[in-house]
Chains A and B, each alone.
Chain A
Protein backbone atom coordinates (compact mmCIF):
# COMPACT_ATOMS: atom_id res chain seq x y z
CA UNK A 1 0.00 0.00 0.00
CA UNK A 2 1.64 3.24 -1.19
CA UNK A 3 2.27 6.16 1.04
CA UNK A 4 0.15 9.28 0.35
CA UNK A 5 0.82 12.33 2.59
CA UNK A 6 -2.32 14.37 3.24
CA UNK A 7 -0.56 17.74 3.08
CA UNK A 8 0.04 17.33 -0.63
CA UNK A 9 -2.12 17.49 -3.77
CA UNK A 10 -1.89 14.97 -6.63
CA UNK A 11 -2.23 14.94 -10.41
CA UNK A 12 -3.76 12.04 -12.36
CA UNK A 13 -0.36 11.54 -13.98
CA UNK A 14 1.13 10.73 -10.53
CA UNK A 15 2.96 13.95 -9.70
CA UNK A 16 2.58 15.51 -6.23
CA UNK A 17 2.34 19.26 -5.58
CA UNK A 18 2.98 21.01 -2.24
CA UNK A 19 0.78 24.13 -2.04
CA UNK A 20 2.90 25.46 0.84
CA UNK A 21 6.20 25.51 -1.08
CA UNK A 22 5.23 25.11 -4.76
CA UNK A 23 7.49 22.06 -5.02
CA UNK A 24 6.68 19.19 -7.41
CA UNK A 25 7.76 15.53 -7.40
CA UNK A 26 6.44 12.07 -8.25
CA UNK A 27 4.37 9.89 -5.94
CA UNK A 28 5.24 6.69 -4.11
CA UNK A 29 2.94 4.80 -6.50
CA UNK A 30 4.85 6.23 -9.48
CA UNK A 31 8.29 5.31 -8.18
CA UNK A 32 7.04 1.80 -7.38
CA UNK A 33 5.76 1.37 -10.94
CA UNK A 34 9.04 2.52 -12.43
CA UNK A 35 11.19 0.52 -10.00
CA UNK A 36 14.90 1.32 -9.77
CA UNK A 37 15.41 4.76 -11.25
CA UNK A 38 18.78 5.20 -12.95
CA UNK A 39 18.50 8.54 -14.70
CA UNK A 40 16.54 11.74 -14.30
CA UNK A 41 16.61 14.95 -16.30
CA UNK A 42 14.80 18.23 -15.72
CA UNK A 43 13.69 19.61 -19.06
CA UNK A 44 12.71 23.13 -18.04
CA UNK A 45 14.80 26.02 -16.71
CA UNK A 46 14.35 28.67 -14.07
CA UNK A 47 12.11 31.38 -15.41
CA UNK A 48 10.21 29.17 -17.85
CA UNK A 49 6.44 29.43 -17.98
CA UNK A 50 4.75 26.03 -17.89
CA UNK A 51 1.23 24.79 -18.59
CA UNK A 52 -0.46 22.10 -16.54
CA UNK A 53 0.24 18.79 -18.30
CA UNK A 54 3.39 19.92 -20.11
CA UNK A 55 6.63 18.04 -19.59
CA UNK A 56 9.00 19.28 -16.92
CA UNK A 57 11.28 16.27 -16.52
CA UNK A 58 11.96 12.74 -17.67
CA UNK A 59 12.77 9.72 -15.57
CA UNK A 60 14.30 6.43 -16.67
CA UNK A 61 14.49 3.16 -14.82
CA UNK A 62 16.08 -0.09 -15.93
CA UNK A 63 12.98 -1.07 -17.88
CA UNK A 64 10.85 2.02 -18.37
CA UNK A 65 10.94 5.68 -19.29
CA UNK A 66 8.44 8.22 -18.11
CA UNK A 67 7.66 11.88 -18.61
CA UNK A 68 7.02 14.00 -15.54
CA UNK A 69 4.29 16.55 -16.23
CA UNK A 70 3.64 19.84 -14.51
CA UNK A 71 0.58 19.55 -12.23
CA UNK A 72 -0.22 23.26 -12.42
CA UNK A 73 0.38 26.20 -14.73
CA UNK A 74 2.80 28.86 -13.58
CA UNK A 75 6.42 29.94 -13.55
CA UNK A 76 9.39 27.77 -12.64
CA UNK A 77 11.25 29.54 -9.85
CA UNK A 78 13.75 26.82 -8.95
CA UNK A 79 15.04 23.46 -10.29
CA UNK A 80 16.65 20.79 -8.15
CA UNK A 81 19.79 19.98 -10.15
CA UNK A 82 21.20 17.99 -7.20
CA UNK A 83 18.55 15.34 -7.79
CA UNK A 84 20.05 14.49 -11.18
CA UNK A 85 23.15 13.20 -9.40
CA UNK A 86 21.23 10.89 -7.11
CA UNK A 87 18.11 9.70 -8.95
CA UNK A 88 17.84 6.71 -6.62
CA UNK A 89 16.61 9.15 -3.94
CA UNK A 90 13.35 9.33 -5.88
CA UNK A 91 12.80 5.66 -5.06
CA UNK A 92 13.80 5.84 -1.39
CA UNK A 93 12.22 9.21 -0.58
CA UNK A 94 9.65 10.19 -3.23
CA UNK A 95 8.08 12.97 -1.21
CA UNK A 96 11.40 14.44 -0.09
CA UNK A 97 12.77 14.50 -3.65
CA UNK A 98 11.50 17.59 -5.41
CA UNK A 99 12.10 18.28 -9.12
CA UNK A 100 11.02 21.90 -9.62
CA UNK A 101 9.37 24.69 -7.69
CA UNK A 102 6.47 26.43 -9.43
CA UNK A 103 4.73 29.67 -8.56
CA UNK A 104 1.28 30.20 -9.95
CA UNK A 105 -1.41 28.39 -8.07
CA UNK A 106 -2.51 26.53 -4.98
CA UNK A 107 -3.34 23.31 -6.75
CA UNK A 108 -6.93 23.34 -5.57
CA UNK A 109 -7.98 21.77 -8.89
CA UNK A 110 -5.83 18.71 -8.09
CA UNK A 111 -6.83 15.56 -6.16
CA UNK A 112 -6.42 15.37 -2.42
CA UNK A 113 -4.82 12.31 -0.77
CA UNK A 114 -7.93 10.09 -0.41
CA UNK A 115 -9.03 10.76 -4.02
CA UNK A 116 -5.55 9.98 -5.29
CA UNK A 117 -5.34 6.75 -3.28
CA UNK A 118 -8.62 5.67 -4.84
CA UNK A 119 -7.24 6.54 -8.28
CA UNK A 120 -4.22 4.27 -7.61
CA UNK A 121 -6.36 1.40 -6.33
CA UNK A 122 -8.52 1.51 -9.45
CA UNK A 123 -5.49 1.06 -11.65
CA UNK A 124 -3.82 -1.75 -9.77
CA UNK A 125 -4.65 -5.22 -11.05
Chain B
Protein backbone atom coordinates (compact mmCIF):
# COMPACT_ATOMS: atom_id res chain seq x y z
CA UNK B 1 0.00 0.00 0.00
CA UNK B 2 1.71 3.18 -1.11
CA UNK B 3 1.89 6.02 1.34
CA UNK B 4 0.26 9.28 0.15
CA UNK B 5 2.63 12.08 -0.78
CA UNK B 6 3.19 15.26 1.22
CA UNK B 7 1.19 17.19 -1.35
CA UNK B 8 -1.73 14.78 -1.11
CA UNK B 9 -1.69 14.98 2.70
CA UNK B 10 -1.55 18.77 2.66
CA UNK B 11 -4.57 20.86 3.59
CA UNK B 12 -4.77 24.65 3.24
CA UNK B 13 -4.43 26.40 6.58
CA UNK B 14 -2.73 23.57 8.45
CA UNK B 15 0.29 24.76 10.35
CA UNK B 16 3.31 22.87 11.55
CA UNK B 17 6.16 24.71 13.22
CA UNK B 18 5.54 28.45 13.47
CA UNK B 19 7.82 31.33 14.37
CA UNK B 20 7.59 34.45 16.55
CA UNK B 21 6.47 37.83 15.26
CA UNK B 22 9.32 40.18 14.31
CA UNK B 23 10.77 42.02 17.33
CA UNK B 24 12.05 44.88 15.17
CA UNK B 25 10.27 47.78 13.45
CA UNK B 26 8.59 46.99 10.17
CA UNK B 27 10.34 47.36 6.82
CA UNK B 28 8.44 47.10 3.55
CA UNK B 29 9.34 44.34 1.14
CA UNK B 30 10.68 45.51 -2.23
CA UNK B 31 8.45 46.25 -5.20
CA UNK B 32 5.90 43.57 -6.12
CA UNK B 33 7.70 42.90 -9.39
CA UNK B 34 10.55 41.34 -7.37
CA UNK B 35 8.27 39.13 -5.28
CA UNK B 36 6.96 35.70 -6.12
CA UNK B 37 3.26 35.08 -6.78
CA UNK B 38 2.67 31.90 -4.84
CA UNK B 39 4.65 29.30 -2.94
CA UNK B 40 3.22 25.85 -3.72
CA UNK B 41 4.64 24.05 -0.68
CA UNK B 42 2.56 21.67 1.44
CA UNK B 43 0.75 22.65 4.65
CA UNK B 44 0.94 19.95 7.28
CA UNK B 45 0.78 19.69 11.06
CA UNK B 46 3.73 18.19 12.92
CA UNK B 47 1.80 14.99 13.69
CA UNK B 48 1.10 14.56 9.95
CA UNK B 49 4.79 14.93 9.16
CA UNK B 50 5.88 12.48 11.84
CA UNK B 51 3.35 9.83 10.79
CA UNK B 52 4.22 10.26 7.14
CA UNK B 53 7.95 9.78 7.59
CA UNK B 54 7.53 7.04 10.17
CA UNK B 55 5.36 5.15 7.68
CA UNK B 56 7.93 5.66 4.95
CA UNK B 57 10.74 4.44 7.18
CA UNK B 58 8.92 1.15 7.66
CA UNK B 59 9.25 0.40 3.96
CA UNK B 60 13.02 0.53 4.14
CA UNK B 61 15.51 -2.23 4.65
CA UNK B 62 18.57 -1.01 6.55
CA UNK B 63 21.67 -2.24 8.40
CA UNK B 64 19.73 -1.80 11.61
CA UNK B 65 17.10 -4.19 10.17
CA UNK B 66 19.31 -6.88 8.66
CA UNK B 67 22.25 -8.21 6.72
CA UNK B 68 23.47 -6.35 3.64
CA UNK B 69 26.09 -8.44 1.84
CA UNK B 70 26.72 -5.75 -0.76
CA UNK B 71 30.11 -6.20 -2.35
CA UNK B 72 32.22 -3.04 -2.50
CA UNK B 73 29.87 -1.16 -0.17
CA UNK B 74 31.11 -2.36 3.23
CA UNK B 75 27.73 -2.23 4.94
CA UNK B 76 29.10 -2.69 8.43
CA UNK B 77 27.24 -1.80 11.61
CA UNK B 78 27.08 1.94 12.33
CA UNK B 79 28.00 2.49 16.01
CA UNK B 80 25.45 4.61 17.84
CA UNK B 81 28.03 6.53 19.83
CA UNK B 82 29.10 8.15 16.56
CA UNK B 83 25.61 9.56 16.14
CA UNK B 84 25.95 11.32 19.48
CA UNK B 85 29.49 12.60 19.08
CA UNK B 86 28.87 14.18 15.69
CA UNK B 87 25.84 16.01 17.09
CA UNK B 88 27.58 17.69 20.01
CA UNK B 89 26.65 21.39 19.94
CA UNK B 90 30.28 22.38 19.73
CA UNK B 91 30.42 20.67 16.35
CA UNK B 92 26.87 21.28 15.12
CA UNK B 93 26.74 25.03 15.60
CA UNK B 94 30.15 26.17 14.40
CA UNK B 95 30.36 28.20 11.20
CA UNK B 96 33.16 27.20 8.80
CA UNK B 97 34.38 30.78 8.52
CA UNK B 98 34.52 31.53 12.25
CA UNK B 99 37.83 32.93 13.58
CA UNK B 100 40.18 29.97 13.98
CA UNK B 101 40.79 30.77 17.64
CA UNK B 102 37.15 29.89 18.32
CA UNK B 103 37.24 26.49 16.61
CA UNK B 104 40.49 24.94 17.77
CA UNK B 105 38.59 21.82 18.78
CA UNK B 106 37.37 21.24 15.23
CA UNK B 107 40.78 21.95 13.76
CA UNK B 108 42.50 19.67 16.25
CA UNK B 109 40.12 16.87 15.33
CA UNK B 110 40.74 17.38 11.63
CA UNK B 111 44.51 17.59 12.08
CA UNK B 112 44.61 14.40 14.14
CA UNK B 113 42.36 12.60 11.67
CA UNK B 114 44.72 13.61 8.85
CA UNK B 115 47.60 12.17 10.88
CA UNK B 116 45.74 8.96 11.71
CA UNK B 117 44.72 8.34 8.11
CA UNK B 118 48.35 8.89 7.07
CA UNK B 119 49.45 6.35 9.64
CA UNK B 120 46.84 3.81 8.55
CA UNK B 121 47.60 4.12 4.85
CA UNK B 122 51.31 4.90 4.79
CA UNK B 123 50.89 8.19 2.94
CA UNK B 124 52.76 11.45 3.44
CA UNK B 125 49.80 13.82 3.46
CA UNK B 126 45.99 13.73 3.54
CA UNK B 127 43.18 16.08 2.54
CA UNK B 128 39.80 15.75 4.22
CA UNK B 129 37.97 18.00 1.78
CA UNK B 130 36.42 15.65 -0.83
CA UNK B 131 32.78 14.89 -0.17
CA UNK B 132 32.63 11.29 -1.36
CA UNK B 133 34.66 8.52 -2.98
CA UNK B 134 33.97 9.70 -6.53
CA UNK B 135 34.86 13.23 -5.48
CA UNK B 136 38.10 11.92 -4.00
CA UNK B 137 38.81 10.10 -7.25
CA UNK B 138 38.31 13.24 -9.27
CA UNK B 139 40.65 15.01 -6.83
CA UNK B 140 43.25 12.29 -7.29
CA UNK B 141 43.10 12.35 -11.08
CA UNK B 142 43.34 16.16 -11.08
CA UNK B 143 46.50 15.88 -8.97
CA UNK B 144 48.01 13.29 -11.28
CA UNK B 145 47.40 15.59 -14.24
CA UNK B 146 48.82 18.60 -12.37
CA UNK B 147 51.93 16.64 -11.40
CA UNK B 148 52.81 15.85 -15.01
CA UNK B 149 52.02 19.35 -16.21
CA UNK B 150 54.28 20.81 -13.53
CA UNK B 151 57.12 18.64 -14.85
CA UNK B 152 56.47 20.10 -18.29
CA UNK B 153 55.36 16.68 -19.53
CA UNK B 154 52.37 17.26 -21.80
CA UNK B 155 52.45 13.92 -23.61
CA UNK B 156 50.66 12.01 -20.92
CA UNK B 157 47.00 11.46 -21.79
CA UNK B 158 46.44 7.74 -21.23
CA UNK B 159 44.96 6.32 -18.03
CA UNK B 160 45.26 2.57 -17.48
CA UNK B 161 42.24 1.01 -15.82
CA UNK B 162 41.57 -2.72 -15.22
CA UNK B 163 38.48 -4.27 -16.75
CA UNK B 164 37.09 -5.01 -13.28
CA UNK B 165 37.12 -1.36 -12.23
CA UNK B 166 34.19 0.55 -10.76
CA UNK B 167 32.53 2.93 -13.26
CA UNK B 168 33.62 6.02 -11.36
CA UNK B 169 37.26 5.29 -12.31
CA UNK B 170 36.92 5.76 -16.09
CA UNK B 171 34.31 8.48 -15.52
CA UNK B 172 36.83 10.48 -13.46
CA UNK B 173 39.51 10.09 -16.15
CA UNK B 174 36.92 10.93 -18.82
CA UNK B 175 36.01 14.18 -17.04
CA UNK B 176 39.57 15.34 -17.74
CA UNK B 177 39.59 14.31 -21.36
CA UNK B 178 41.98 11.41 -20.80
CA UNK B 179 41.85 8.29 -22.97
CA UNK B 180 41.03 5.21 -20.99
CA UNK B 181 43.00 2.07 -21.82
CA UNK B 182 41.39 -1.04 -20.35
CA UNK B 183 43.79 -3.67 -19.00
CA UNK B 184 42.35 -7.21 -18.82
CA UNK B 185 42.58 -9.53 -15.83
CA UNK B 186 44.24 -12.92 -16.13
CA UNK B 187 42.84 -16.32 -15.19
CA UNK B 188 43.84 -15.92 -11.55
CA UNK B 189 42.08 -12.57 -11.29
CA UNK B 190 45.30 -10.56 -11.33
CA UNK B 191 46.12 -7.69 -13.69
CA UNK B 192 47.44 -9.27 -16.90
CA UNK B 193 51.13 -8.31 -16.73
CA UNK B 194 51.83 -8.74 -20.44
CA UNK B 195 48.89 -6.56 -21.40
CA UNK B 196 50.04 -3.99 -18.86
CA UNK B 197 53.64 -4.05 -20.10
CA UNK B 198 52.43 -3.40 -23.65
CA UNK B 199 50.66 -0.21 -22.57
CA UNK B 200 53.36 1.26 -20.31
CA UNK B 201 54.96 4.05 -22.27
CA UNK B 202 55.59 7.74 -21.89
CA UNK B 203 52.00 8.69 -22.69
CA UNK B 204 50.73 7.09 -19.48
CA UNK B 205 49.33 9.41 -16.82
CA UNK B 206 49.10 6.47 -14.45
CA UNK B 207 47.01 3.52 -13.44
CA UNK B 208 43.83 3.43 -11.37
CA UNK B 209 43.87 0.20 -9.43
CA UNK B 210 41.58 -1.21 -6.76
CA UNK B 211 43.48 -3.66 -4.57
CA UNK B 212 42.06 -5.98 -3.49
CA UNK B 213 40.16 -5.68 -6.76
CA UNK B 214 36.43 -5.86 -7.32
CA UNK B 215 36.71 -9.64 -7.46
CA UNK B 216 37.88 -9.46 -3.86
CA UNK B 217 41.34 -10.69 -4.79
CA UNK B 218 44.66 -9.27 -3.68
CA UNK B 219 46.84 -8.93 -6.74
CA UNK B 220 49.56 -11.57 -6.45
CA UNK B 221 51.90 -9.40 -8.55
CA UNK B 222 51.12 -6.08 -6.94
CA UNK B 223 54.75 -5.04 -6.59
CA UNK B 224 55.43 -5.80 -10.26
CA UNK B 225 52.29 -3.94 -11.40
CA UNK B 226 53.31 -0.86 -9.49
CA UNK B 227 56.91 -1.08 -10.65
CA UNK B 228 55.89 -1.27 -14.31
CA UNK B 229 53.73 1.83 -14.06
CA UNK B 230 56.21 3.84 -12.03
CA UNK B 231 59.12 2.86 -14.30
CA UNK B 232 57.40 4.37 -17.33
CA UNK B 233 56.84 7.57 -15.36
CA UNK B 234 53.24 6.97 -14.46
CA UNK B 235 51.56 7.47 -11.09
CA UNK B 236 49.62 4.82 -9.16
CA UNK B 237 46.11 5.65 -8.06
CA UNK B 238 44.55 3.34 -5.50
CA UNK B 239 40.79 3.12 -5.26
CA UNK B 240 40.33 2.77 -1.49
CA UNK B 241 36.86 1.28 -1.65
CA UNK B 242 38.22 -2.06 -0.48
CA UNK B 243 40.34 -0.75 2.37
CA UNK B 244 38.30 -2.81 4.83
CA UNK B 245 40.53 -5.74 3.87
CA UNK B 246 43.78 -3.93 4.53
CA UNK B 247 43.66 -2.16 7.90
CA UNK B 248 46.74 -3.27 9.80
CA UNK B 249 47.43 -5.79 7.03
CA UNK B 250 49.31 -3.67 4.52
CA UNK B 251 49.59 0.04 3.82
CA UNK B 252 48.99 1.19 0.22
CA UNK B 253 51.64 3.90 0.65
CA UNK B 254 54.22 1.24 1.54
CA UNK B 255 53.37 -0.72 -1.61
CA UNK B 256 54.10 2.29 -3.77
CA UNK B 257 50.72 3.89 -4.43
CA UNK B 258 50.94 7.63 -4.99
CA UNK B 259 47.38 8.59 -4.24
CA UNK B 260 44.33 6.89 -2.77
CA UNK B 261 40.88 7.97 -1.73
CA UNK B 262 39.28 6.73 1.47
CA UNK B 263 35.58 6.02 1.75
CA UNK B 264 34.77 6.95 5.33
CA UNK B 265 31.22 5.75 4.73
CA UNK B 266 32.53 2.29 3.98
CA UNK B 267 35.67 1.46 5.96
CA UNK B 268 35.10 3.78 8.88
CA UNK B 269 31.43 3.04 9.57
CA UNK B 270 29.99 6.41 8.63
CA UNK B 271 26.37 5.48 7.80
CA UNK B 272 25.23 5.38 4.20
CA UNK B 273 22.19 7.57 4.81
CA UNK B 274 20.11 6.06 2.03
CA UNK B 275 22.55 7.22 -0.61
CA UNK B 276 24.74 9.81 1.08
CA UNK B 277 26.40 11.90 2.41
CA UNK B 278 29.72 10.10 2.08
CA UNK B 279 33.16 11.43 2.78
CA UNK B 280 36.19 10.82 0.60
CA UNK B 281 39.53 12.02 2.05
CA UNK B 282 42.56 11.49 -0.17
CA UNK B 283 46.06 10.42 0.88
CA UNK B 284 49.13 11.10 -1.23
CA UNK B 285 52.81 10.20 -1.40
CA UNK B 286 55.53 12.80 -0.93
CA UNK B 287 55.75 13.67 -4.62
CA UNK B 288 52.07 14.65 -4.83
CA UNK B 289 51.78 16.43 -1.47
CA UNK B 290 52.17 19.94 -2.91
CA UNK B 291 49.23 19.43 -5.23
CA UNK B 292 46.59 18.65 -2.60
CA UNK B 293 43.41 20.74 -2.63
CA UNK B 294 43.34 23.80 -0.40
CA UNK B 295 42.82 24.27 2.43
CA UNK B 296 44.51 21.62 4.56
CA UNK B 297 44.65 21.77 8.32
CA UNK B 298 48.11 22.49 9.65
CA UNK B 299 49.88 23.76 12.72
CA UNK B 300 50.37 27.52 12.46
CA UNK B 301 52.18 27.87 15.78
CA UNK B 302 53.95 25.02 17.52
CA UNK B 303 53.09 24.14 21.09
CA UNK B 304 55.15 25.94 23.71
CA UNK B 305 55.20 24.82 27.33
CA UNK B 306 51.62 24.82 28.54
CA UNK B 307 50.23 26.46 25.40
CA UNK B 308 48.84 23.97 22.90
CA UNK B 309 49.62 24.36 19.19
CA UNK B 310 47.58 26.77 17.13
CA UNK B 311 45.79 24.92 14.33
CA UNK B 312 44.73 26.64 11.17
CA UNK B 313 44.45 26.33 7.41
CA UNK B 314 47.40 26.01 5.08
CA UNK B 315 47.60 26.08 1.28
CA UNK B 316 49.77 23.48 -0.47
CA UNK B 317 52.41 25.09 -2.70
CA UNK B 318 51.04 23.89 -6.05
CA UNK B 319 47.47 23.19 -5.04
CA UNK B 320 44.99 22.05 -7.69
CA UNK B 321 42.49 24.38 -6.03
CA UNK B 322 39.35 23.89 -4.07
CA UNK B 323 37.11 20.85 -4.63
CA UNK B 324 34.01 22.29 -2.98
CA UNK B 325 33.02 25.11 -0.67
CA UNK B 326 34.39 25.02 2.89
CA UNK B 327 36.35 22.19 4.48
CA UNK B 328 34.73 18.86 3.81
CA UNK B 329 32.17 16.66 5.49
CA UNK B 330 33.15 17.59 9.00
CA UNK B 331 30.01 16.79 10.92
CA UNK B 332 28.76 13.74 9.16
CA UNK B 333 32.00 12.06 8.15
CA UNK B 334 35.05 13.32 9.96
CA UNK B 335 33.75 13.33 13.54
CA UNK B 336 32.24 9.85 13.19
CA UNK B 337 35.41 8.42 11.63
CA UNK B 338 37.52 10.08 14.32
CA UNK B 339 35.39 8.51 17.05
CA UNK B 340 35.58 5.13 15.32
CA UNK B 341 39.37 5.15 14.97
CA UNK B 342 39.80 6.43 18.55
CA UNK B 343 37.76 3.49 19.83
CA UNK B 344 39.51 0.85 17.72
CA UNK B 345 43.16 1.74 17.92
CA UNK B 346 45.72 -0.11 15.83
CA UNK B 347 44.82 -3.58 17.14
CA UNK B 348 41.11 -3.00 16.76
CA UNK B 349 41.52 -1.91 13.15
CA UNK B 350 43.57 -5.00 12.36
CA UNK B 351 40.82 -7.14 13.92
CA UNK B 352 38.31 -5.40 11.64
CA UNK B 353 40.15 -6.46 8.51
CA UNK B 354 41.05 -9.94 9.71
CA UNK B 355 37.45 -10.74 10.59
CA UNK B 356 36.10 -9.10 7.42
CA UNK B 357 38.35 -11.41 5.42
CA UNK B 358 37.48 -14.42 7.63
CA UNK B 359 33.76 -13.87 7.11
CA UNK B 360 34.08 -13.58 3.34
CA UNK B 361 36.19 -16.71 3.03
CA UNK B 362 33.80 -18.62 5.28
CA UNK B 363 30.84 -17.73 3.07
CA UNK B 364 32.82 -18.63 -0.04
CA UNK B 365 33.72 -22.00 1.46
CA UNK B 366 30.06 -22.69 2.30
CA UNK B 367 28.82 -21.68 -1.15
CA UNK B 368 31.55 -23.02 -3.41
CA UNK B 369 29.80 -26.35 -3.99
CA UNK B 370 26.56 -24.72 -5.05
CA UNK B 371 27.57 -21.66 -7.08
CA UNK B 372 30.54 -21.19 -9.37
CA UNK B 373 33.22 -18.94 -7.93
CA UNK B 374 35.46 -18.27 -10.92
CA UNK B 375 38.72 -17.60 -9.09
CA UNK B 376 39.78 -20.45 -6.91
CA UNK B 377 41.95 -18.86 -4.27
CA UNK B 378 41.68 -17.21 -0.89
CA UNK B 379 39.71 -14.02 -1.26
CA UNK B 380 39.90 -10.83 0.77
CA UNK B 381 36.86 -9.14 2.30
CA UNK B 382 34.55 -10.00 -0.61
CA UNK B 383 34.14 -12.50 -3.42
CA UNK B 384 32.20 -12.80 -6.64
CA UNK B 385 30.15 -15.80 -7.65
CA UNK B 386 28.05 -16.54 -10.72
CA UNK B 387 24.36 -16.17 -9.96
CA UNK B 388 23.33 -19.11 -12.14
CA UNK B 389 21.96 -22.55 -11.42
CA UNK B 390 23.02 -25.32 -13.80
CA UNK B 391 20.18 -26.62 -15.93
CA UNK B 392 17.88 -23.66 -15.28
CA UNK B 393 17.51 -20.19 -16.74
CA UNK B 394 17.38 -18.56 -13.32
CA UNK B 395 19.69 -15.55 -13.25
CA UNK B 396 21.47 -13.34 -10.69
CA UNK B 397 18.58 -10.91 -10.77
CA UNK B 398 16.08 -13.61 -9.82
CA UNK B 399 18.24 -15.00 -7.02
CA UNK B 400 18.61 -11.47 -5.67
CA UNK B 401 14.89 -10.85 -5.66
CA UNK B 402 14.17 -14.21 -4.01
CA UNK B 403 16.66 -13.42 -1.23
CA UNK B 404 14.40 -10.55 -0.22
CA UNK B 405 11.63 -13.02 0.59
CA UNK B 406 14.00 -14.44 3.21
CA UNK B 407 14.70 -10.97 4.67
CA UNK B 408 18.12 -10.53 3.19
CA UNK B 409 19.23 -7.59 1.10
CA UNK B 410 20.66 -8.93 -2.15
CA UNK B 411 24.40 -8.76 -2.88
CA UNK B 412 25.76 -6.40 -5.52
CA UNK B 413 24.39 -7.44 -8.91
CA UNK B 414 26.09 -7.51 -12.31
CA UNK B 415 29.30 -6.01 -11.15
CA UNK B 416 32.15 -6.44 -11.95
CA UNK B 417 31.34 -6.70 -15.61
CA UNK B 418 33.89 -9.46 -16.20
CA UNK B 419 31.94 -12.17 -14.37
CA UNK B 420 28.72 -13.54 -15.87
CA UNK B 421 25.61 -12.96 -13.75
CA UNK B 422 27.91 -11.57 -11.06
CA UNK B 423 26.87 -11.55 -7.44
CA UNK B 424 29.46 -9.76 -5.31
CA UNK B 425 29.25 -10.66 -1.62
CA UNK B 426 30.89 -8.69 1.18
CA UNK B 427 29.68 -9.69 4.64
CA UNK B 428 31.92 -7.29 6.67
CA UNK B 429 33.26 -8.07 10.13
CA UNK B 430 30.13 -7.05 12.05
CA UNK B 431 28.06 -10.16 11.23
CA UNK B 432 27.95 -13.16 13.51
CA UNK B 433 28.36 -16.78 12.41
CA UNK B 434 24.65 -17.54 12.72
CA UNK B 435 23.74 -14.82 10.24
CA UNK B 436 26.38 -16.05 7.83
CA UNK B 437 25.16 -19.63 8.11
CA UNK B 438 21.55 -18.57 7.58
CA UNK B 439 22.56 -16.59 4.50
CA UNK B 440 24.54 -19.48 3.01
CA UNK B 441 21.72 -21.93 3.77
CA UNK B 442 19.23 -19.59 2.09
CA UNK B 443 21.30 -19.28 -1.07
CA UNK B 444 21.64 -23.07 -1.19
CA UNK B 445 17.89 -23.39 -0.74
CA UNK B 446 17.24 -20.93 -3.55
CA UNK B 447 19.44 -23.01 -5.83
CA UNK B 448 17.23 -26.00 -5.06
CA UNK B 449 14.09 -23.94 -5.60
CA UNK B 450 15.47 -22.89 -8.98
CA UNK B 451 15.45 -26.53 -10.03
CA UNK B 452 12.16 -27.62 -8.46
CA UNK B 453 10.11 -24.45 -8.78
CA UNK B 454 11.87 -21.96 -11.07
CA UNK B 455 8.78 -19.77 -11.53
CA UNK B 456 8.75 -19.02 -7.82
CA UNK B 457 12.27 -17.64 -8.05
CA UNK B 458 11.77 -15.83 -11.35
CA UNK B 459 8.73 -13.92 -10.14
CA UNK B 460 10.15 -13.07 -6.70
CA UNK B 461 9.84 -11.16 -4.44
CA UNK B 462 6.52 -12.26 -3.02
CA UNK B 463 6.54 -11.19 0.61
CA UNK B 464 8.07 -7.71 0.40
CA UNK B 465 5.82 -4.62 0.64
CA UNK B 466 6.37 -3.93 -3.05
CA UNK B 467 6.99 -6.14 -6.07
CA UNK B 468 9.29 -5.72 -9.06
CA UNK B 469 9.14 -2.30 -10.64
CA UNK B 470 8.23 -1.35 -14.16
CA UNK B 471 11.50 0.43 -14.88
CA UNK B 472 10.70 0.90 -18.54
CA UNK B 473 7.55 2.84 -17.69
CA UNK B 474 9.53 4.97 -15.22
CA UNK B 475 12.02 5.93 -17.92
CA UNK B 476 9.63 6.30 -20.84
CA UNK B 477 6.92 8.20 -18.99
CA UNK B 478 9.14 10.38 -16.85
CA UNK B 479 7.29 11.50 -13.76
CA UNK B 480 9.80 13.20 -11.51
CA UNK B 481 7.56 15.30 -9.28
CA UNK B 482 4.49 14.66 -7.18
CA UNK B 483 1.12 15.11 -8.79
CA UNK B 484 -0.44 18.27 -7.45
CA UNK B 485 -4.10 18.08 -6.48
CA UNK B 486 -6.25 20.51 -8.49
CA UNK B 487 -6.10 24.15 -7.44
CA UNK B 488 -3.15 23.28 -5.25
CA UNK B 489 -1.35 26.58 -5.33
CA UNK B 490 -4.30 28.84 -4.48
CA UNK B 491 -4.17 30.58 -1.09
Contacts and interface: CB of A to CB of B under 8 A. Distances in A.
Contacts of A62: 471-472, 475
Nearest to A35: B472
B479 to A, nearest CB: 13
A42 to B, nearest CB: 18
B51 interface: no
B151 interface: no
B427 to A, nearest CB: 26
Contacts of A38: 472, 475-476
Interface in A43-79: 62
A63 B69 CA distance: 22
A62 B476 CA distance: 9
Interface in B449-478: 471-472, 475-476
A87 B472 CA distance: 12
A39 B475 CA distance: 8
A36 B471 CA distance: 9
Interface string A81-96: 0000001100000000
Contacts of A87: 476
Contacts of A88: 476
A38 to B, nearest CB: 4
Contacts of A39: 475
A88 B472 CA distance: 10
B470 to A, nearest CB: 10
Nearest to B472: A36
How big is the A interface, by class? under 10
Contacts, number: 12
A88 B475 CA distance: 11
Nearest to A86: B476
Interface string B418-445: 0000000000000000000000000000
A95 B471 CA distance: 25
Interface string B345-371: 000000000000000000000000000
Contacts of B475: 36, 38-39, 62
Interface string A18-54: 0000000000000000001011000000000000000
A117 to B, nearest CB: 24
A106 B471 CA distance: 40
Contacts of A36: 472, 475-476
A39 B474 CA distance: 12
A62 B469 CA distance: 12
Contacts of B476: 36, 38, 87-88
Interface in B351-408: none
Contacts of B471: 62
A25 B28 CA distance: 62
Nearest to A60: B475
Nearest to A91: B472
Contacts of B472: 36, 38, 62
A88 B471 CA distance: 14
A62 B472 CA distance: 6
B388 to A, nearest CB: 12
A39 B471 CA distance: 13
B298 to A, nearest CB: 44
Residue of A36, A39, A87, A88 ringed by the most chain B CB atoms within 10 A:
A36
A67 B472 CA distance: 20
A39 B472 CA distance: 11
Nearest to A125: B420
A38 B475 CA distance: 6
Nearest to A62: B471
A36 B472 CA distance: 7
Nearest to A87: B476
A96 B408 CA distance: 45
A87 to B, nearest CB: 8
Nearest to A39: B475
A124 to B, nearest CB: 13
Residue with the highest number of chain B CB atoms closer than 10 Å, among A39, A62, A88: A62
A10 B65 CA distance: 53
Nearest to A38: B475
A58 to B, nearest CB: 14
Most buried by B among A38, A87, A88: A38
A23 to B, nearest CB: 24
A3 B471 CA distance: 26
A86 B161 CA distance: 36
Given A36-B476, A38-B475, A39-B475, 9 more contacts: A36-B472, A36-B475, A38-B472, A38-B476, A62-B471, A62-B472, A62-B475, A87-B476, A88-B476
Interface of A: 36, 38-39, 62, 87-88
12 contacts: A36-B472, A36-B475, A36-B476, A38-B472, A38-B475, A38-B476, A39-B475, A62-B471, A62-B472, A62-B475, A87-B476, A88-B476
The list of the 10 closest CB pairs from A to B, nearest first, reads A38-B475, A36-B472, A62-B471, A38-B476, A62-B475, A62-B472, A88-B476, A38-B472, A39-B475, A36-B475
